[in-house]
Amino acid sequence: MCGIFGWVLRGEHRQDYDTLVRLTNLMKHRGPDGAGYRQSDTADQRYQVSLGHRRLSIIDLEGGAQPMWSADGSIGLVFNGELYNYIELREELNSLGHTFRTSSDTEVLIEAYRAWGVDSIKRFRGMFAFGLWDARAQQLVLARDPFGKKPLFIAENAGLLFASEIEPLLQFPGMNTSIDPHAVEHYLLNRYVPGPRTFFQAVRKLPPGCHLVWREGRTNITRYFIPPLASAEPDITDFNEAVRMFKATFDDAVRIRMRSDVAFGAYLSGGIDSSAVVAAMVRHSSERVRTFSVGFREASYSELDHARTIARQFDTDHEEIVLEPHDFLKSWPTAILRRGAPAAEPADIPVMMLSHMAASKVKMVLTGEGADELLGGYPKHRAEQWIELYQRLVPQAIHDRIISPAMRALPYDMRRAKIVTTAAGERDWPSRMQLWFGGVSLGERNRIIGRPLPVALPDSHPFSIGIGSNVRRTLFFDQTSWLPDNLLERADRMMMAGSIEGRMPFMDTSLAKLVARFPDNFLVGRSGGKSVLRAAMQHTLPPGILTRKKIGFRVPIEEWFRGPYREFISDLLVSDGARVASFCNRDVLRQLVNEHLARRQNHEKVLWSLANLELFLRAFRPSSLETRARHSVREPI
């Protein structure tokens, strides 16, 4: 787990070694254990090739330094992540005559590329982003893992640049740091910027499951992985057999993620997902498993009691922190800086703070991330089973004129009921996916911005699956947009901010292939969803953990905005110096704040999004913002 940075630049734009070192070291938090840098030229001297690396040592502490080069010096690699099946791959490569100087998975990746070329990526079971220079073919290969657990940002500026985080690219000499106004519009709808966009016009994301090949100044991006839901048929019809197969595959996914040469543990929330991970870890560990939890003094938001129940049952070495409002506020700007974007979820900050605490004991943790998106654990997955029926029975006019206004008139704390009602009336598929977890509806977004705007999808891929049920289509969207551009982005950036590697057994490709063969009722058929997982854990976890209502990793932002953050949120969004007013109508901002503070409406999500946008604009100071502020006129709709 590391930070990578590099470029291929036309010769007249070459940069010195100090620039490579300085920009790579902006990611020291991703790799505090070591660093490496290498510069060379293409064979025709037309382009400069530079590779930089910051290392967090997990596998082969002595022999895994990077950039790593093949024995003949023809292939150089900077690699962020882990190949969990590197032992099996090495055995296969040994049988083909390959030899190894180290015991690292980095060298396995190099030799796999030497054996099978770019197609070797399809053999990797892990999380990764890498830049590989092939001097034989005079090409640079960039790749990102199937589900996008590891980030890779790219920019074209007199060549091609790549990095694990945005900041080194923004500080590259001559880089355009203008904000992308369309990204702001997408952010307000989604609470994150869907890939391949970022907040900056010059920087974009390499999509998950894709590799890029640069050669002689030209780039080509190929998608090598599509979530199995797109093509698999639900052909496993026996529930007990599905449970048996799931247990075996999940157990193996946990086992291979425990391969490490350093101390590791688990993040434990007390929910079924992380508890299942801990239970499997205990089976495979000869030592006491370390667990870490974070919670709040507000009892309705904290899951610490449930985490303690699991810790006692499995006798883990358990530690926890209770997050206070002033600690949260102090860490908030750092989270935005590390993410290179607004913090899409309040949970970003607790994850970062927990990682700083855990880093004093371990270097790697396993988490329960991805279970809901793989196995159908959200209320929206169950709701999608009946929305088509609702839309057939209830004419759009009845929904718009009677039902929707009635729901809006409900008390401020009926937030979930309002979301379900709004989504049930939305017949446009992409818009409904954005509504479920988004910040605002399309109409509300237009009102905040001050003018109607069309909806242009930055990437149609998450909405492209044209077969299967609403549940499967929703899960496909989750796995190709909500996860990589939000939750997995949070997991990587917030854990790496504390120099912690996070591994996610539920995001295993073998597990995804199996689950794609389950019918809908094996996933969302029972109360709380994730039917197969609950059945698999029936004799392992306490009944109270299996049956309790899903809380999710919620932070008491609604209460803090009305309490200790009352003046902060008001000053942040409606003061004369608010930068967010460059994009939003100031009167609407003031109305949203006042309604929330007066408890007339719960605007928690949209106020969180706007507050983070303001802090992001203050931290990064995009070059186009002042010009936009001078020329932008916002009138209420």
Q: Please say if the pLDDT value at position 132 is more than 50.
A: yes
Q: Please say if the pLDDT value at position 630 is more than 50.
A: no
Q: Which residues pair with 153 in a beta bridge?
A: 163, 205
Question: What is the rounded CA–CA span in Å between residue 146 and residue 131?
Answer: 16
Q: Which residues pair with 210 in a beta bridge?
A: 223
Question: What is the rounded CA–CA span in Å between residue 349 and residue 216?
Answer: 43
Asked if 71 contacts 101 with a C-beta cutoff of 8 angstroms, the reply is yes
Q: Which member of 2, 323, 375, 494 is catalytic? A: 2
Question: What is the rounded CA–CA span in Å between residue 98 and residue 256?
Answer: 23
Q: What is the pLDDT of residue 359?
A: 95
Listed residue (423, 380, 381, 379) closest to 399, CA to CA: 423
pLDDT tens-digit series, residues 537-572: 999 999 989 887 776 678 899 889 999 999 999 999
pLDDT tens-digit series, residues 438-487: 877 778 888 888 877 666 777 888 988 887 899 999 999 999 999 999 99
Q: What is the pLDDT of residue 19?
A: 98
pLDDT tens-digit series, residues 319-349: 999 999 999 999 999 999 999 999 988 999 9
Q: How confident is the model at residue 412 (pLDDT cuts 50, 70, 90)?
A: low
Q: What is the pLDDT of residue 454?
A: 67
Q: What is the pTM of this model?
A: 0.94
**Residue 583: burial class (beta carbons within 10 Å; 0-12, 13-18, 19+):** buried
Nearby residues of 361 by Cβ (< 8 Å), 6 or more positions away: 263, 265, 290, 319
Asked if 24 contacts 37 with a C-beta cutoff of 8 angstroms, the reply is yes
> Known catalytic residue: 2?
yes
CA distances from 544 to 250, 300, 541 (A): 22, 16, 8
Question: What is the rounded CA–CA span in Å between residue 301 and residue 278?
Answer: 22
As given in the structure block, the two tokens for residue 536 are: 């698999």
Amino acid at 228: P
Cα-atom radius of gyration of the chain, to the nearest Å? Answer: 24
Q: 3-state class of 356 per DSSP?
A: helix
- Per the prediction, the chain carries an average pLDDT of 91
Angle between the N-to-C axes of helices 488-497 and 325-339, in degrees from 0 to 180, rounded to the nearest 10: 110
Q: Please say if the pLDDT value at position 636 is more than 80.
A: no
Nearby residues of 368 by Cβ (< 8 Å), 6 or more positions away: 267, 269, 271, 273, 274, 275, 276, 277, 504, 506
Q: What is the pLDDT of residue 631?
A: 38
- Average confidence (pLDDT) over 105-121: 97
Q: What is the pLDDT of residue 625?
A: 64
Q: How confident is the model at residue 185 (pLDDT cuts 50, 70, 90)?
A: confident
Q: 3-state class of 171 per DSSP?
A: coil
